Structure formats: C-alpha cells, structure tokens
C-alpha cells in the first residue's frame, strides 16, 4: 500500500476526513516539476519526460479557526516508520508549527485514517521509531476545532 496510486487515493480520503473534521479551504499541494525532453508517443498517447524541480511543501493546505493548516499524508501498511517522512517533511511540519500554524501528520492505513497533531508527535516520533495503530488511535484528533481552540 506504499505506491503512488494508493498515496493519491490516501490524499483524497484525507481531504474528505479533514473537511469533515472542520478544516476549510482545503487544497492539494502539487509537486513542482519541469519537462526535460521531447514528448514520447506510446499506444496512441503522448507522454512528457519530467523531473521534480523542487520538494513539495506538504500534501494539503487549509484553514482551521483562522490558522494555516499543513497536512503531510502517509499511506502505508503496518506501522508508520519515522523514515517514511523525508527530512524536509519533518523540518517543514516543525517550522510550520513554530510560526503559529497547525501541522498535521495524517496516516491512512487499512485500520483507518488517523489525524495527528505534529506538535504532540515531534518529540516522541524520532529516528528509528514507528507509530503503531494503537499509538495512532491515542494521538488521533477527532475534534480539530476543539483541540486547536484558542490557538489563533
């Protein structure tokens, strides 16, 4: 369950869950890319060779209680390992929180969708650690508006 197709499906599910939990103005953050060559024609379709030109800044953005929300979405089987997040993703979630935003790590698994507050995770989700389903259930924020009330 760790491929691009399941990742995109996980991001779509995340948008529905975040919207239902009160996050407004949700938008998908696209990964910047550039075309690096001539089109390739295969089976009657035209494809362009690309490379990613920059690192994406999260997967979804939105607004909750007047605050910026940044969500990093991971769709993986088994436990969610620290190494599933790239170093720039850890840094961005931490920085976004430090400047007053709401940073969320969202784990889409076979057991459900878990929306976790990065501020509560960042000091316990460390290198060579992982989050189990039981951990995710404990960190899952069901009522985002109440959880972040008074943060603005």
If you average pLDDT over every residue of the chain, what do you get? 88
Q: What is the pTM of this model?
A: 0.82
47/39 Cα distance (integer angstroms): 5
Indicate the pairing of strand 102-109 with strand 112-117. Answer: antiparallel
Cα–Cα distance, 104 to 86 (Å, whole number):
15
Write the pLDDT tens digit of every residue in 80-135. Answer: 999 999 999 999 999 999 999 999 999 999 999 999 999 999 999 999 999 999 99
């Amino acid at each position: 369950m760790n491929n691009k197709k399941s990742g995109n499906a996980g991001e779509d599910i995340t948008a529905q869950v975040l919207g239902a939990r009160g996050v407004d103005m949700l938008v998908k953050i696209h990964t910047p890319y550039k075309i690096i060559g001539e089109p390739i024609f295969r089976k009657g379709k035209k494809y362009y060779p690309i490379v990613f030109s920059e690192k994406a800044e999260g997967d979804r953005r939105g607004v909750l209680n007047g605050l910026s929300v940044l969500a990093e979405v991971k769709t993986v089987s088994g436990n969610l390992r620290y190494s599933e997040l790239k170093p720039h993703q850890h840094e961005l979630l931490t920085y976004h929180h430090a400047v007053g935003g709401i940073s969320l790590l969202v784990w889409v698994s076979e057991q459900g969708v878990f929306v976790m507050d990065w501020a509560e995770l960042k000091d316990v989700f460390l290198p060579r650690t992982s989050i189990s389903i039981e951990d995710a259930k404990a960190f899952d924020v069901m009522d985002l508006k109440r959880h972040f009330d008074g943060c603005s």
